[in-house]
Structures are given as structure tokens and as C-alpha cells.
Structure 1
Amino acid sequence: MERGAGPVKRFAPRTLLLAATAWALAALFLLPYVEMLVTAGRPADELRDNGYLPGHFDWSSFTAVWRDTTLGQNLQVTLVVAGGSTLLVLLVALPAAYYTARVRFRGRKAFLLLVLVTQMFQPTALQVGLYREFYTLDLLDTILVLVLANAAFNLAFAIWILSAYIAAIPVELEEAARIDGTGRLGALGRVTLPLALPGVVTAVIFTFIASWNEFIMGLTLTTSPDRQPLTVGIDNMIGAYSVQWNQVFAASLVAIVPVVVLFAVIERHVVSGLTAGSVK
């Protein structure tokens, strides 16, 4: 060994095995997305070929879905619905979570248990009641109905996770701020919310993704193609007698890109929020 050379770093067999397993699992989960990309670039006359890779790639399917379908309008609807329902959930969940975390009122545990139980309700089982209710309110086939429905089904999770996160923040910090002359709302905005930011981001990203991926309510509560969310718009591309799978997979790739980018940007906040309170 030459003088001055550092020690050779060696990996234990267990570390190598874990790394190989992790890469294998990552490849397994990424394989469907690779298949989607390959199929989106496959020419229409090669869709029934047995080969994994086409003879040549043709990316015109990405432009065709924008030109020949309502994908653009569906994408706008989904952005409005996901953003609106997330904002509505945040406006309602933050005060509710703060109150349940800071005030020991009678029936507090029962309220939190009720919030948790509502997570067990499936949207499919409630579609008839929801349809009748929104029909009475004359809200069917509107973007507002999707915002309200998605916010209702994601509110319980947001209250639960925000309540647990705010409860882990020492109340003495708020009391110190109030001694300095800050009111309760000021202490909430200047002290509690900045410290609870990972929990808030976690609630936001999970609500946004759930609203983005929702299908059943969009299919049931809307009928106009230009007012339906992206998931329903992609489903409408599957015809009764023929399916252009390259265009379907191209639209699916367009649908997942915004969520992947958003999650990659705030992933560290999500991990911090999910592990909140796990260490005493």
C-alpha cells in the first residue's frame, strides 16, 4: 500500500445483501412505469407484437391525446379539485386539530375515535346517498361537487394527523408567546404552525394525492366529459370495440408526473411528519 493512502472501505455481506434487495424491489416497482413508457412510444401497428421493445419509437401519442381527447380540460379539472379540496381540508382541519390537541373537553376521546372510524367508510358504499344529497342541492356535474366530496373523505385523516402532531408540541411555547403579548391566534400562527409544518405538509400531500387519484366519485357525480377529472377522462379513452393503448398509457404518464414531482419536492417533510411522536 502506498504511503498516505486511506483505508479501503469494505462493505459487510449483510449491507450488500440489503442494498441488492432494495435495488431489486425498486426495479420491481418501477417496471410497470417502464412498461407504460415503452407502450406509449410504441407505434399503433405494433401494439399487438410480442416483443418487449418496438421496432422504433413513435412519441406522437403524447400529442394525439392533447389534440383528440379532453385530456387538457380533465387535467385542469383535476388540478382545481385537488387544490380546492386540499385548501378546504386545511382550513377546517387546522382549527379542529388545534382545539382537540389543546383543550381537554368532555367527549374528546369519543370525537377522535369517531374521526378515526369515518376513515373506514368507503366512498363506493356511500355513492347512492351522496348522489341523492347533491342532486337535491343541484350540484351534480359541477367542479364544486367534486371539491366538497373529496374534502369530506379526506378531512378525518387530516384532523387525526394534525391533532397528534400539535399535541407533541410543548404548550409552554405558546404560553411564553402569550406572556409577551401575543394572542392565541398569534401564538398559533407564529409558534405552533411553523413547528407543525411537517405535519401540515403531510396532511396536504396525502389529501392532494387522494383527490388527484379519486375515480368513483368523479365517475358518479359528473357526466360532462369536460367537467370530469383526469382519472375518468383516461377511462373514457377505453372504447367498446377498440383501444389505443399507446394513447392511454401516454395520458397515464401525464397524469402521474405532477404528483411525482410534488412528492419529490416535499418528501423530507412528509417523512418528518409521519415519524412525528415516534420518539419520546
Structure 2
Amino acid sequence: MAVTAPAVPPVAAPVHPRRKRYGTDNVSGRRMWGRTAIGAVIALVFLTPYLIMLVGSLKTRSEILSVPPEYLPQDGLQLGNYQSMWDTPETPLTYNLLSTIIIAVFATLLVLLVATPAAYYTARFRFPGRMVFLFLVIVTQMLQPAVLTAGLFRQMLWLDLNDTWVAMILINAAFNLSFALWIMHSFFAAIPKEIDEAAQIDGAGRLKVLFRINLPLVWPGIVTAVIFTFVSSWNEFAASLVIMSTAENQPLSVALTKFIGQYATSWQYVFGVSIVAIVPVIILFAVIEKRLIGGLTAGAVK
């Protein structure tokens, strides 16, 4: 009987390691660098005005007005501009900054205090005239303080609130309330009612359901409302110009105009005050950046 030799298994060809063509998100290196370059160009376009303000605040007035223009300070960095602009007697910037912070912070808190329960109620309950109410709320967003300055001045004069922080807090809160209510209404409406019913079965009251159950779920909407209201109140100009007559009570947006004269403008101080005015807003965005990103991506993944 013939004995057959065992079959020899074929030898696999050696596998040579390949160079990785894609990054962690399956994007080729060339495309990744291309997107990075495009993003850098777009960022530079948006940052250019702020860079011009920053560089201009470190120049002398003659350098800013020189022809041809000088893009960089030729006489050294004029850091003294930031000190001298705070010492201008007719423009008490320290009080102006304090006034702006108080008005923006308390207007934002007032908006949250009113808009949160209102948005929850309109999202959870069906009452007569509900859609009419929501429509009238959004219509108020079409009106701006610049259009109503004369009426607002007479109203605050009648209430004996003219030239006070309370007046500007109420005005800023009133004109930002509609947006905050609508954005928070949409977040509350996206939460299933079964969550509220389950909490009520466990013995939770309406207030507990609102603050302990719903608010953590609509936190991205609250952050969006906070950013919009704070930035809008921080930059408000028209109503403040008419109602706030005392130099110490005026916000930075009005105090900035004091450096712009009929025959001469201190551009180095205008740029310096503008840089100071945007710092608190940048700090706000840095503090709540993660919450803001959560609000933008809410509902993107199930």
C-alpha cells in the first residue's frame, strides 16, 4: 500500500506594513492639512478687526492717522494708553464698566427668572389663546429700543426711574425676554411628558418637576438664552444714550462715544475701550463653552 506524503500548506506571502493613509477620523493627511489651512484663513478674516483694534490701542494717535499707514507701532508699544484712558476725567471708565456689568448680569437673571417658568408652562399646558400668546411674544422681537427711545424715556420718567440702573435692567430684560422664552420653550417641548408624569407618580410637585427634572435636561437652552441676553444687554446703546444722562451711570457703549469729538477723535482710546469691552464676553464664552457646544449638538444623536 502506497504511503502518500502529507500535503504541505502553502506559505503565506509576507505582509509588509503599509503606511497609514488616514487619520483617526478617516480623513487623508492631505485633506486634513487643506481643511486646517482653510480654517486658519477663515479664522484670520474674523480675527483681523480685533487684531487691528489691539495694535491700534498700542499706537500713538499720529501713527494711527499717518499716511501711508503704519501697520505696527514705530515708537514702541504705547502701554500708557490703557492707563491714561482710565484717568480721563470726563469719562469715568471704572464706573462705566461697573454699570455695564450690573445691567447685563441682572437683566440676564431677570430674563431667566421670568422666561423659565413661562416657557415650561407654554410647553406643557394647552390653554386658550396659547398660540396667540406665543405669536405676540415673538412679535415683540421685531421692535428695537432705538425705535422706542422716546416712549421709553417718558415711561421711565413717569416711573421716576430715569437715569437709574433699574430702568436699563428692565428695558434690556423686556427686549430679550421673547427670544429666551421661545428658545427655552422649544427645549421644554422636546422633553417627553412621560418624564413629568413618572416624577409626579413618585410624589414630586410641579416645582420639583421643573427644577429637579426638567432644568437639567434643558440646560443647553438655558445657556443659549444666557449668552444671547448677556451679549445683547452688554452691547445695548440706543436706550442707554437717551435714558442714562449721568456720566457715572452710563455703560461702556455710551462712554466710548466720549472719545469721538467733532474735530478730533482719540482713536487709541477708542480701540483700547473696545478691547476692554470684549474681554468679559470672551470670559463668559470660555466659562460656558462646553455647555454651549452641548446646546448646539443636542438632539443630533439618538
TM-score, structure 2 as length reference: 0.86
1:77 and 2:103 are equivalent in the alignment: no
What's the counterpart of residue 51 of structure 1? 70
Q: CA deviation at 1:15?
A: 5.0
Root-mean-square deviation (Å): 2.0
SS in structure 2 of the partner of residue 161 of structure 1 = helix
What is the CA–CA distance in structure 2 between the aligned matches of 1:277 and 1:129, rounded to whole Å? 42
**Which runs of 5 or more residues in structure 2 are unaligned?**
1-15
Bigger-Rg structure (1/2): 2
* Kept in 2: contact 1:199–1:274 (CA 8 A): no
**Structure 1 position 168 matched with structure 2 position 187:** no
Match for residue 152 of structure 2?
Answer: 130
Q: Show structure 1 runs of 5+ residues with no match.
A: none
Moved over 3 A (4+): 3-6, 12-19, 274-280
Map 1:1-280; keep pairs closer than 5 Å.
7-9=20-22, 11=28, 16-49=33-66, 50-55=69-74, 56-68=76-88, 69-276=91-298
- In the superposition, relative to structure 1, how do residues 107 and 12 fare at CA in structure 2: closer, same or farther (>3 Å)? farther
Change (3 A) 1:195 1:277: same
Q: 1:5 to 1:61 in 2, by over 3 A?
A: farther
The structure-2 alpha-carbon separation of the partners of 1:157 and 1:277, relative to structure 1 and needing over 3 Å to count, comes to farther
Q: Secondary structure at the match of 1:61?
A: helix
Structure 1 residue 16, shift from structure 2 partner? 4.7
CA contact (8 A) 1:165 1:276 kept: no
Asked if the contact 1:43/1:58 (under 8 Å) is kept, the reply is yes
Match for residue 5 of structure 2? none
Whole-Å separation in 1 of the counterparts to 2:113 and 2:209: 17
- Distance in 2 between residues matched to 1:118 and 1:18, nearest whole Å: 41
Contact 2:244-2:250 at 8 Å conserved across structures: yes
> Aligned partners of 2:218, 2:131: CA distance in 1, in Å?
22
Specify which structure has the higher proportion of helix: 1
Q: CA deviation at 1:271?
A: 3.5
Aligned to 2:9: none
Aligned length: 278
Asked if the contact 2:63–2:70 (Cα under 8 Å) also holds between the matched residues in 1, the reply is: no
User: Identity across aligned pairs (percent)?
Assistant: 49
Post-superposition shift, 1:43?
2.5
